[in-house]
Amino acid sequence: MEIMLNHTIVPTKDNVQSAKFYEEIFGFEFIKEWRPFAVVKVNESLTFDFMNKGKFIPYS
């Protein structure tokens, strides 16, 4: 069985600023702000969803 990662949440201080930084530095595409996330398209199947640390609740 093949497993494919389609997104990962990245905790940040400023989600939009971080998304735009990745867009500029790595050439990824900043898609949009969606609720607490700033979504960046890495490739056809993967996005980085940047989220402000204050709203991030890690699993224990």
pLDDT at 57 over 80: no
Measured torsion, CA atoms of residues 55, 43, 20, 57, in degrees rounded to the nearest 10: 10
Could you report the per-residue pLDDT of 6-56, keeping only the tens digit for each?
Answer: 999 999 999 999 999 999 999 999 999 998 899 999 999 999 999 998 766
- How far apart are the C-alpha atoms of 41 and 44, rounded to whole Å? 7
Could you report the per-residue pLDDT of 12-25, keeping only the tens digit for each?
Answer: 999 999 999 999 99
Does the domain made of 7-55 have the CATH classification 3.30.720.120?
yes
The DSSP element (H or E) to which 18 belongs, if any, is helix 15-26
What are the angstrom distances between the C-alpha of 7 and each of 39, 41, 48?
9, 9, 6
Q: For the chain, which residues make up each domain, given as ranges?
A: 7-55
Residue 60's pLDDT band, with cuts at 50, 70 and 90, is low
